[in-house]
């Protein structure tokens, strides 16, 4: 992930020395202010970790308010490194809060994926062994989600940033936008859908619902605004899923169900004619499940990966010579001019 983050933030694959320096620097930003940790205690135990994440990422802007002069490349870079360093910590603390467990401080000797697994699953009462294949799987997931041009959340970060708002506030806006089931929330929705289908014989009913004009239900993890063929990330995710499950010796019936659902949908005229193929979210949930990551954390992990892209895009935008506030126009299609009726004369 260090290579990927360096490529996005600094524009090149790092040399070995640059890689070491970059890792040291990012790891140096993993801790969050102790006062921020108190924020976590204010949430109900059943708060969704995305709700917590959106709040605490936004709260970072109160700790790193700097002087707003992000025309200075060093200040932009520092904001970026802070963001990349702290996102996984905040995400893991969100998990711990939602589970009522004590937070686990980050470790400098671990890479991003290892450290994230450690902060999520380690407990003071027992040793925690990192599984290299599981950590690699998480790393691949983070890389596959790192950046993806102008998707809804990245555009949201850019729109927020175009007013020269604090970068952490912009990233919090991205987290909010990512949350919905049409975007990052789809991975959570895929698993819920597969669990609801339950058995292969119920697939036709689910496909029929997805095709129905009167039912708002969609096949989650299918379709993409840009890809009109199989999302290349989905293929990698499917391969990773098989590797991980083999390694962990897990036989997950949901994987068989997902593969059968893919087969049925891809031989159906409705999906063929609309060029609807599996997207990145279709198999990621099954990987997360095998990693022992609960469903409500799926989109949070997407946010950790995507935060590298968000902040890279923010750095690019904040460094532009001429900056213009984003201001989409709106075409009014409502009623024509109406007379104003004073309140006293209204019913």
Give the nearer residue to ligand CMC in terms of CB position, either 122 or 194: 194
42 torsion bin: left (phi>0), alpha (psi -120 to 50), beta (else): alpha
Q: By Cβ distance, which residue is nearest to ligand CMC? A: 223
CB of 334 to ligand CMC, least distance (A): 24
**Is there a contact between 284 and 143 (Cβ–Cβ < 8 Å)?**
no
**Which residues have C-beta within 8 Å of that of residue 42, sequence separation ≥ 6?**
none
CA–CA separation, 262 and 223 (whole Å): 12
Q: Where are the alpha helices (DSSP H) in the chain?
A: 2-10, 16-27, 34-40, 49-63, 73-98, 112-121, 132-144, 152-161, 167-178, 186-197, 203-211, 232-248, 253-266, 269-273, 281-290, 298-318
Give the nearer residue to ligand CMC in terms of CB position, either 85 or 221: 221
**Which pair of tokens denotes residue 274?**
């609309």
Give the nearer residue to ligand CMC in terms of CB position, either 20 or 225: 225
CB of 180 to ligand CMC, least distance (A): 9
CA–CA separation, 175 and 239 (whole Å): 28
Question: Does the active-site annotation cover 29?
Answer: no
Question: Does the active-site annotation cover 68?
Answer: no
Report the interface residues with ligand CMC, using CB under 6 A: 151, 182-184, 186, 210, 218-225, 274, 276, 279-281
Give the nearer residue to ligand CMC in terms of CB position, either 117 or 231: 231
CB of 154 to ligand CMC, least distance (A): 10
CB of 199 to ligand CMC, least distance (A): 20
Catalytic residue among 6, 29, 145, 224: 224
**Is there a contact between 175 and 311 (Cβ–Cβ < 8 Å)?**
no
Give the nearer residue to ligand CMC in terms of CB position, either 33 or 235: 235
CB of 67 to ligand CMC, least distance (A): 34
CA R_g for the chain: 22
CA–CA separation, 138 and 322 (whole Å): 38
Active site residues: 224, 281
């Amino acid at each position: 992930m260090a290579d990927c983050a360096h490529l996005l933030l600094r524009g090149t694959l790092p040399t070995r020395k640059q890689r070491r320096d970059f890792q040291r620097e990012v790891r140096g930003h993993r801790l969050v202010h102790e006062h921020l940790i108190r924020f976590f205690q204010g949430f109900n135990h059943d708060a969704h970790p995305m709700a917590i994440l959106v709040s605490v990422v936004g709260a970072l802007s109160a700790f790193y308010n700097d002087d707003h002069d992000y025309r200075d490349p060093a200040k932009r870079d520092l904001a970026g490194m802070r963001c990349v360093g702290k996102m996984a910590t905040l995400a893991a603390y969100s998990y711990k809060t939602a589970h009522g467990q004590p937070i686990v401080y980050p470790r400098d000797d671990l890479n991003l994926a290892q450290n994230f697994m450690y902060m999520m699953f380690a407990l003071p009462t027992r040793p925690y062994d990192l599984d290299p294949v599981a950590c690699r799987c998480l790393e691949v997931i983070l890389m596959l989600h790192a950046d993806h041009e102008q998707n809804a959340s990245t555009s949201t970060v850019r729109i927020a940033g175009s007013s020269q708002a604090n970068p952490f506030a912009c990233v919090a806006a991205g987290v909010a936008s990512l949350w919905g089931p049409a975007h990052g929330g789809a991975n959570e929705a895929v698993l819920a859908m597969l669990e609801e289908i339950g058995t292969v014989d119920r697939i036709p009913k689910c496909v029929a619902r997805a095709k129905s004009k009167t039912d708002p239900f969609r096949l989650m993890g299918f379709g993409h605004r840009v890809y009109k063929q199989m999302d290349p990330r989905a293929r990698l995710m499917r391969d990773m899923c098989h590797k991980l499950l083999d390694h962990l010796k897990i036989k997950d019936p949901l994987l068989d169900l997902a593969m059968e659902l893919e087969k049925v949908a891809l031989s159906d005229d409705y999906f063929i004619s609309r060029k609807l193929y599996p997207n990145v979210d279709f198999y990621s949930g099954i990987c997360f499940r095998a990693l022992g990551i609960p469903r409500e954390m799926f989109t949070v992990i997407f946010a950790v990966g995507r935060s590298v892209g968000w902040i890279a895009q923010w750095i690019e935008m904040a460094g532009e010579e001429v900056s213009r506030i984003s201001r989409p126009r709106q075409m009014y299609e409502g009623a024509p001019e109406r007379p104003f009726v004073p309140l006293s004369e209204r019913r």
